[in-house]
Structure 1
Amino acid sequence: MYAPEYEPRLFDADGDLSKRWYIDYRIWDTDKQTFVRKQYTGMNKYTTLRERRRVCKEKLAEIRQLLEEGYTAGKTPAVTLGIDPKKATVQQAIEWVVERKAAAGVGTEFYNVALRRIREYPPFASLPLKFLSLAHITSFLEQQSKRGITAKTYNNYRNSLNASFNYLVKQEILTRNPCAPTELRKVEASPIHVPYTEAERQAITAEILKRGDEQLLLYISFIYYGFIRSGSELRLLRVRDIKPRTVLVPAARAKNGKAEHVAIVRQLEAMIEKAGLRSYPPDAYVFTKEHKPGPEPVGKNWFAKRHRKVLTAVGLNDGEHTVYGYKHTGAINLYLATQDIELVRRHCRHAHAGITATYLRKLGMFDDDEQLAKMPDF
């Protein structure tokens, strides 16, 4: 039971890991018929400041939500953790995980990957959680394989399931993770997302302009000039994320889970100004089916379908050229123009230059020709 005057509070010893941290809260005791004091101290087993703060954030959100849902103490509590392991189905359990992650401010897209498929497969979705076994997991994944999915997609489903069941184990809803023994499939290297040559880029731009599809060109420009990933990072971009000099990629949508800013180059700024993006309501999504900022973002394949038509028109619809390829193209062109790997690193939002160097080498960028020319004859 929740009482506003007893808001759960974190006592973190001013960040001192050597001291005891705890979350203090009050809960209604059905036996004593009064609020009693409780403490959560499980975060103290984590030895790094980052991990401990992460756990504290998640637990604060969980405790608040449980209290708001009517959780009580005593011999006959109204609810335990908001889910009954003896009665819950697989679908209900995964939905519970997604709700808890969302309450803690954690991105839920990864957990929804498997949940979407579970909802489409009733035999697995309706299975009581208490009966779930490795055989059920294997059968579910095999059913997905029969849809003709790639090894990478199979691994995404498996990893999404595994993450959800790991969370259920940590919350003591399950005693073990039935997905853990399953194996990942080998993903063959492919040339997908290949960079575009300058001639190809010009041909594509000309075709888009010919079609009058300024929205598609703007979308591609955010990828090419800002190195913003074409998935949720860009598709779910809001007007408020476009700052005076940067574009904010919120932690919930960023690949590495960190909120970061990307500098707006002059060409992209000109397009933003032309579209008047900053004049729309802050909460509006930049890319909608109405071709202007609005309340509903476009679907996942909205731009991909239109882009494929453009690729077909210019003879590049070969399965290797994609919208994502413009990010690689932009990285290559920025490096060729500046020879500044640190600048490319910042724009790519890489953790360190070593990652950027490896990334550029995979794209065929080598800048050591002069040094290699000094190699002595055999």
Structure 2
Amino acid sequence: MKYPWKEPKLSKPANNDLSKQWCVEYGAYSQVRDKIIRKRVTLSGDTIEERLKQADEVIKYLNDYFKNGDVFVEPLGEPEKEKQPKASDGITGKSTIKKALEYYQATKLPTLSKQSGRTYTSIAKLFTEYLKKNKLQNLPLNRFDTHQANLYFDRLLQAGGSNNKHNKHLGFISTFFNFYLKRRTITENPCEAISELAENAGNHKPFKPDQIADIKTYLEETNDRQLWLFINFIYYTFSRPHEEVRLLKVSDIERNTIRIDASTAKGNRVLYKKIPPGLEQLLQQYRIRLAPSHYYVFSRSGIPGPEPVGEAYFYDRHKKMLDSLELPKGYDLYGWKHTGVISLYIATRDMKKIQRQCGHTSIEQTDQYLRDLGLFAEFEDFNNFPEL
């Protein structure tokens, strides 16, 4: 089906005033509103020449992308509300960890779903109580080191915490420090050397072949190309949906591999995921590499854009799809990772391939992961079991 659109054009002050907004305006069809809606890409740059060059790049990309007439925005549900970033609050490395944590929460919480927000608030509360109990709340942010981090996670396990609880706290606290690391407020993340603990992979059910067929048909009928691409990224790269796939940039997609930045990857180290033929075909079909390199692969416009979607964006769309298909509880976006692992293992029986694509640091970790998925129990050969 062909969708109408409005060609992009540069909008700027008549006197080229750099203190005012420059943008590229265009129109894209909205299935929700059944009309062309106005969209814009804000331009940046310290000189007139830089902004004009960026405008040319954006206009060329949009014209190339829309020329086939198969692009639309907001295919399901209501448009997501814009999330305004918070202004800097003067946090430095010498600020207390208590103050830094409060500012991080105030900035992060508006971007989360209600469920994620409750989880973050709960973990932050426990972490704050630990800091207060051990008289660390006034410790400078840049003085909370790896030793302090290890002590916290040791206490968490000694108090009866599960592997799952350890990993959730590690995810929150590591992201907290990465927030300031990326802003160059601190020079290192004290959680970098702390590993996640093995969990039961059965918390996220892998999808069965008949379910996959129904989902593919549903997405074709609703023409939700963006959700289908998002699912395929998870399936082929064994990456986490919210932290790794959602924040991918066009520059991360290389010729044969996809780069997962250390600030979003598990273990806080750079990961490289092989691009299988099925995913490469989609990358070319969706013309992802044609977009400006600094764009996020998944934006609210339905195509690559300067801002990523929120954490709940694909979760909500995926859940609505599962509800429409009346799938039982236990299926979610993360389940596509397990689905991909199972498919590759059945096809190859190659644990090293699984290890590399998952980014596991050891073959033992991969072995445990596959056992948690029930693969060895299901596929090992019992035909030669000796009789008594």
**Does residue 168 of structure 1 match 2:136?**
no
Paired position in structure 2 for 1:214: 225
Match of 2:275 among 258, 261, 264: 264
Task: Summarize the alignment of residues 151-230 of structure 1 with structure 2, pairs less than 5 Å apart.
Answer: 154-155=122-123, 158-159=126-127, 168=139, 183=159, 191-230=202-241
**Unmatched segments (≥5 aa) in structure 2:** 1-89, 166-199
Q: CA RMSD in A?
A: 4.1
| Alpha-carbon spacing, 1:94–1:159, altered in 2? closer, same or farther (3 Å) | closer
Paired position in structure 2 for 1:239: 250
Letter paired with 1:168: L
Deviations 1:85-133 (A, max 9, x none): 6xxx93x24368xxxxxxxxxxxxxxx4697469xxxxxxxxxxxxxxx
**The residue matched to 2:139 in structure 1 has which SS?**
helix
Match of 2:284 among 273, 278, 285: 273
**Does residue 295 of structure 1 match 2:306?**
yes
- Aligned-pair distance for 1:319? 3.5
**The residue matched to 2:272 in structure 1 has which SS?**
strand
TM-score by length of 2: 0.55
Deviations 1:244-285 (A, max 9, x none): 111000111101111121010111111111111111111101
Contact residue 228 and residue 327 of structure 1 kept, 8 A: yes
Letter paired with 2:273: V
- Aligned-pair distance for 1:185? 5.3
| Alpha-carbon spacing, 1:244–1:311, altered in 2? closer, same or farther (3 Å) | same
Task: Summarize the alignment of residues 13-92 of structure 1 with structure 2, pairs less than 5 Å apart.
Answer: 82-83=94-95, 90=98, 92=99
**The residue matched to 1:327 in structure 2 has which SS?**
helix
Match of 1:250 among 261, 264, 271: 261
Letter paired with 1:357: D
Paired position in structure 2 for 1:307: 318
**The residue matched to 1:342 in structure 2 has which SS?**
helix
- 1:365, 1:235 → 2: CA distance? 28
**The residue matched to 1:270 in structure 2 has which SS?**
helix
- 2:141, 2:280 → 1: CA distance? 46
Task: Summarize the alignment of residues 319-334 of structure 1 with structure 2, pairs less than 5 Å apart.
Answer: 319-334=329-344
Deviations 1:300-353 (A, max 9, x none): 00001111111012111x441001100000000000011111111111111121
| Alpha-carbon spacing, 1:166–1:348, altered in 2? closer, same or farther (3 Å) | farther
Number of matched residues?
252
Letter paired with 1:337: A
**The residue matched to 1:295 in structure 2 has which SS?**
coil
- Aligned-pair distance for 1:228? 1.5
Letter paired with 1:300: E
Letter paired with 2:317: R
**The residue matched to 1:256 in structure 2 has which SS?**
helix
Q: Give percent identity, aligned residues only.
A: 31
Contact residue 114 and residue 160 of structure 1 kept, 8 A: no
Match of 2:101 among 94, 114, 117: 94
- 2:126, 2:309 → 1: CA distance? 27
**The residue matched to 2:268 in structure 1 has which SS?**
coil
Match of 1:340 among 350, 355, 376: 350
Contact residue 195 and residue 328 of structure 1 kept, 8 A: yes
| Alpha-carbon spacing, 1:201–1:257, altered in 2? closer, same or farther (3 Å) | same
- 1:170, 1:153 → 2: CA distance? 19
Contact residue 341 and residue 354 of structure 2 kept, 8 A: yes
- 1:221, 1:160 → 2: CA distance? 39
- 2:274, 2:315 → 1: CA distance? 25
Query: Max radius of gyration: which structure?
Result: 1
- 1:307, 1:292 → 2: CA distance? 18
| Alpha-carbon spacing, 1:166–1:242, altered in 2? closer, same or farther (3 Å) | farther
**The residue matched to 2:258 in structure 1 has which SS?**
strand
Letter paired with 1:340: D
Match of 2:295 among 267, 280, 284: 284
**The residue matched to 2:259 in structure 1 has which SS?**
strand
Contact residue 228 and residue 234 of structure 1 kept, 8 A: yes
Deviations 1:143-166 (A, max 9, x none): x99x9957x984576358768958
- 2:374, 2:93 → 1: CA distance? 52
- 1:306, 1:190 → 2: CA distance? 23
- Aligned-pair distance for 1:170? 8.0
| Alpha-carbon spacing, 1:167–1:327, altered in 2? closer, same or farther (3 Å) | farther
- 2:329, 2:281 → 1: CA distance? 32
Match of 1:357 among 343, 364, 367: 367
Q: Which stretches of structure 1, 4 residues or longer, exceed 2 Å deviation after superposition?
A: 80-83, 92-96, 112-118, 147-150, 152-174, 176-192, 367-378
**Unmatched segments (≥5 aa) in structure 1:** 1-68, 70-79, 97-111, 119-143
- 1:334, 1:157 → 2: CA distance? 41
